[in-house]
Amino acid sequence: MALIQAGTFRSDAGALFGPVPRLLWDRWVTDEIDPENRLLQALNCLLIETPGGRVLVETGIGDRVDDKTRAMRGYEGSWIVPALADAGFDAASVDVVAMSHLHFDHAGGLLAADGSKAFPRARIVAQRAEWEIALGDNPRLVASYVQPELELVRDWGAEGWADGERELLPGVSVVPTGGHSAGHQAVVVRAPGSAPVAFFGDLCMRPWSANPRWVTAFDDFPLTSVEVKASLFAQAADEGWTIVLSHEVRQPIGRLVRDRDRFTWDPL
Ligand SMILES: [Zn+2]
């Protein structure tokens, strides 16, 4: 398994902490905030090797963004295809692309700049509920999706729709969570003889996400996020799962540890 960083971008710092006052979150991030009050965020993707094939989790922002959007998002670095190549993986060798959800910073890398499929052999797996909300018309919800781009891959995506929990290849499963977005899902990897490895998507993006009640302003269904985080994190902590954070720059791999009524992040 390899962690692939498909560049970095910047998000408004306050929005990452939702209703939590800066007085409480400031100590986590003081040295990272830029003059526009944004935090540096990694676009973490996972390449999972199994005997049955290769699964890529997430695709980042991609290569189909104009200079204005690039500047607005503070987007820098290699997009997923060259980032995979740098790590020794050919995009054409990917069998399955699983995305936690379809927000711009997770589903942007499905197409190359010329509009061809970035992963020509792959099946794309996201929840059907996520596609429906992403291509819907709720003005509050669609703001985080790039609908014209998703329209281009709609048919490709429909071939891999998941309705609920599904095993993609032996040992690699997606588990619907909701919360951050309507059809958000986690990816869990199980291999005999070792503890599971999980990618909880944007329910667990940074070390401070370990507190189930610290939910971003980008979460569309925050009460679901709190509830699902509490139960998923309890299982992960009690069973010693290895967790990969979706947007952490420095210490993206670690474990969740119980701490009173919450959890703390224990980086590996
Ligand atoms: Zn994200």
What is the Å distance from ligand 1's center to 194 Cα?
28
Considering the chain, what is the average pLDDT of its residues?
Answer: 96
What would the pLDDT profile of 190-230 be if each residue is shown by its tens digit?
998 899 999 999 999 999 999 999 999 999 999 999 999 99
What is the Å distance from ligand 1's center to 247 Cα?
7
What is the Å distance from ligand 1's center to 162 Cα?
20
Q: Is the pLDDT assigned to residue 32 strictly greater than 90? A: no
What is the Å distance from ligand 1's center to 118 Cα?
20
What is the Å distance from ligand 1's center to 114 Cα?
24
Q: What is the DSSP string of the chain?
A: -EEEEEEEEEEEHHHHTTTS-HHHHHHHHTTT--TTSEEEEEEEEEEEEETTEEEEE---S-S---HHHHHHHT-BS--HHHHHHHTT--GGG--EEE-S--SHHHHTTSB-TTSSBSSTTPEEE-BHHHHHHHTS--TTTGGGS-HHHHHHTHHHHHTT-B-SSEEEETTEEEEE--SSSTT-EEEEE--TTS--EEE-GGGS-SGGGGSTT---TT-SSHHHHHHHHHHHHHHHHHTT-EEE-SS-SS--EEEEEEETTEEEEEE-
What is the Å distance from ligand 1's center to 43 Cα?
8
What is the Å distance from ligand 1's center to 36 Cα?
19
What is the Å distance from ligand 1's center to 107 Cα?
10
Q: Is the pLDDT assigned to residue 138 strictly greater than 90? A: yes
Question: What percent of the chain is modeled with pLDDT above 70?
Answer: 100
**What is the reported pLDDT for 262?**
93
**What is the reported pLDDT for 30?**
75
**What is the reported pLDDT for 115?**
97
What is the Å distance from ligand 1's center to 121 Cα?
25
What is the Å distance from ligand 1's center to 206 Cα?
10
78 vs 140, more confident? 78
What is the Å distance from ligand 1's center to 266 Cα?
21
What is the Å distance from ligand 1's center to 95 Cα?
23
Q: Is the pLDDT assigned to residue 22 strictly greater than 80? A: yes
**What is the reported pLDDT for 261?**
87
